[in-house]
């Protein structure tokens, strides 16, 4: 039995703060009670329900909301309504505020930073913890790198309480009761990270209240879209509206697509081949506009979908098909391309490089029947040179 393995690149999916906090709560991480609001009236009603002072928080998929005026305290429900009026519609670094999270205001004695991310180099989850929270971690890393305690967790063993004790000691958390809460919270963060197949779980700030209660005041939760099939609830949280239009189209058509900033559209079969195609385009002085991975497929349906996504990007001036026939045969892919080009008209020049199983037959088919804008090349290098030339000429 032969298994066709199609490698797919991990695509990070960012969740909103309130969604991350929902997941935190599910895993037992303390968070404040809150409500979602889409209008000033809803913000007022939410603050009334919560009772007491509230904080009105812009829900956008970017950080630094506080500095941008997207986080405001409100003493009364009328205040919450007024703050909501100010924040809704605000543009925070290109992200329009359409939703607010109204949360019971917390009193803050200390602001810490805690995150868990995946360190690809070490192939292990990495904890970062510092008592200098509230500001960007990049800022702390620059100003006082020694203040950040770092610790890798062996994924086969999992998080161990002694690691939490070490992180607390290293970061300088001295209060025993506080240590106890932080160490327990780290265990829950590790559970949330692995349980949701996250790529990043960041709490900044992780606060200590004057009553010595430790809790997550903010959340940055990024999940791996390759694992979303295992978490239908998390998949449902993904905000399709906020995505880039091409990426949205790609998702609808189930095409692996990544936007870049050059002018050559790239289609290949298999993540490894696509990655090396990007390198070769770069090597010959070109620059990719985007890429699509056809995976194991190459049928007309898949080619049409991928071409639709690629050409919906106005920056694309020429397209390179790089196909290595293994289990997928080149003649099949050639037929797929021909059928796709019968169904749709592509203005841009298309360079096709076919190699591997039945490559000659594939090239013959294209040579005989393809429209005039299709150019067949035998090697990856010559194909890259050709497509970069053609893109430059337009």
Could you say whether residue 55 binds ligand GDP (CB under 6 A)? yes
One of 36, 61, 90, 105 touching ligand GDP (CB under 6 A)? 105
| E strand residue ranges, 139-286 | 149-152, 198-208, 214-216, 220-224, 256-259, 264-268
Is 109 an interacting residue with respect to ligand GDP (CB under 6 A)?
no
Please choose which of ligand GDP, Mn ion, none residue 134 contacts, taking the beta carbon within 5 to 8 angstroms, the exact cut-off set by kind.
Answer: ligand GDP
Q: How far is the CB of 55 from ligand GDP (least distance, A)?
A: 4
363 Cα distance to chain centroid: 38
Nearer to ligand GDP (CB atom), residue 20 or residue 270 = 20
Of 30, 57, 29, the C-alpha closest to 43 is: 57
106 binds ligand GDP, rule: CB under 6 A: yes
Say how many residues touch ligand GDP, by CB under 6 A: 15
Q: Report how far residue 151's alpha carbon sits from residue 138's, in angstroms, rounded to the nearest whole number.
A: 17
**Distances from the Cα of 90 to the Cα of 56, 127, 136, 153, 239, angstroms:** 13, 33, 21, 40, 18
**N-term to C-term CA, the chain:** 47
162 belongs to the catalytic site: no
Among 19, 59, 131, 204, binds Mn ion (CB under 5 A): 204
Is the Cβ of residue 218 or residue 332 nearer to Mn ion in the bound state?
218
Q: Kindly tell me which of 111 and 213 has the beta carbon lying closer to Mn ion.
A: 111
Residue of 81, 202, 332, 377 marked catalytic = 202
The percent of the chain in helix, strand and coil, each rounded to the nearest 5, is 40, 25, 35
CB of 233 to ligand GDP, least distance (A): 23
113 is catalytic: yes
DSSP bridge pairs for 37: 100
CB of 48 to ligand GDP, least distance (A): 17
Q: Which is nearer to ligand GDP, 132 or 358 (CB)?
A: 132
Q: Phi and psi at residue 67, in whole multiples of 5°?
A: -60, -30
Residues from 210 through 239 that contact ligand GDP (CB under 6 A) = 217-218
C-alpha 9/C-alpha 7 separation (Å) is 7
Residue 63 binds to ligand GDP (criterion: CB under 6 A): yes
* Count of residues making up the chain: 394
**CA separation for the pair 22, 249 (Å, rounded):** 28
From Mn ion, ligand GDP, none, which one binds at residue 105 (CB under 5 to 8 Å depending on kind)? ligand GDP
190 half-sphere exposure, CB direction, 13 A CA radius: 24
Site for Mn ion in 208-227 (CB under 5 A): 218
Q: Which residue has the tokens 């180099």?
A: 121
β-bridge pairing 100-104 and 54-58: antiparallel
When CB distances are held under 5 to 8 angstroms depending on the partner's kind, the choice from Mn ion, ligand GDP, none that residue 106 binds is ligand GDP
Q: Is residue 30 at the binding interface for ligand GDP, with CB under 6 A as the rule?
A: no
| Residues 97 and 89 sit within 8 Å (Cβ to Cβ) | yes
Q: Which is nearer to Mn ion, 25 or 137 (CB)?
A: 137
Interface residue with ligand GDP, options 20, 40, 125, 205 (CB under 6 A): 205
Site of interaction with ligand GDP (CB under 6 A):
55, 63-66, 71, 105-106, 108, 111, 134, 204-205, 217-218
- Active-site residues, by number, are 113, 202
Site of interaction with Mn ion (CB under 5 A):
204, 218
């Amino acid at each position: 039995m032969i298994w066709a393995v199609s490698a797919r690149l991990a695509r990070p999916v960012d969740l909103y703060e309130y969604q991350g906090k929902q997941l935190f709560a599910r895993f037992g991480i303390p968070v404040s009670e809150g409500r979602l609001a889409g209008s000033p009236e809803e913000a007022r009603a939410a603050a009334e329900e919560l009772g007491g002072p509230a904080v009105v928080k812009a829900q956008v998929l970017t950080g630094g909301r506080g500095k941008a005026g997207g986080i405001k305290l409100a003493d009364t429900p009328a205040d919450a309504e007024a703050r909501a009026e100010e924040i809704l519609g605000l543009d925070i670094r290109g992200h329009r505020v359409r939703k607010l999270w109204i949360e019971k205001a917390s009193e803050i004695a200390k602001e810490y930073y805690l995150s868990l991310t995946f360190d690809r180099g070490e192939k292990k989850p990495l904890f970062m913890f510092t008592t200098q929270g509230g500001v960007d971690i990049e800022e702390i890393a620059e100003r006082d790198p020694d203040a950040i305690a770092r610790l890798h967790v062996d994924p086969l063993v999992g998080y161990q309480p002694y690691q939490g004790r070490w992180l607390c000691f290293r970061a300088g958390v001295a209060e025993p009761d506080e240590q106890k809460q932080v160490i327990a919270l780290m265990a829950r963060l590790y559970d949330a990270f692995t349980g949701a197949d996250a790529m990043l779980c960041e709490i900044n700030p992780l606060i200590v209240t004057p009553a010595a209660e430790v809790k997550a005041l903010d959340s940055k939760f990024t999940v791996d879209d390759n694992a979303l099939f295992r978490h239908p609830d998390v998949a449902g949280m993904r905000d399709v509206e906020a995505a880039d239009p091409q990426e949205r189209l790609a998702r609808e058509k189930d095409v692996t697509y990544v936007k870049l900033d050059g002018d050559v559209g790239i289609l290949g079969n298999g993540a490894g081949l696509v990655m090396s195609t990007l390198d070769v385009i770069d090597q010959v002085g070109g620059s990719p506009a985007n890429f699509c991975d056809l995976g194991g497929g190459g049928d007309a349906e898949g080619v049409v979908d991928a071409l639709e996504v690629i050409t919906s990007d106005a920056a694309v001036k020429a397209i390179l098909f790089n196909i290595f026939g293994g289990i997928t045969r080149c003649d099949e892919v050639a037929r797929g391309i021909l059928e796709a080009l019968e169904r749709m008209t592509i203005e841009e020049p298309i360079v096709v490089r076919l190699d591997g199983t039945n490559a000659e037959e594939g090239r013959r088919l294209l040579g005989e029947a393809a429209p005039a804008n299709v150019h067949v090349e035998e090697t990856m290098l010559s194909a890259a040179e050709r497509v970069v030339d053609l893109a430059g000429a337009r």
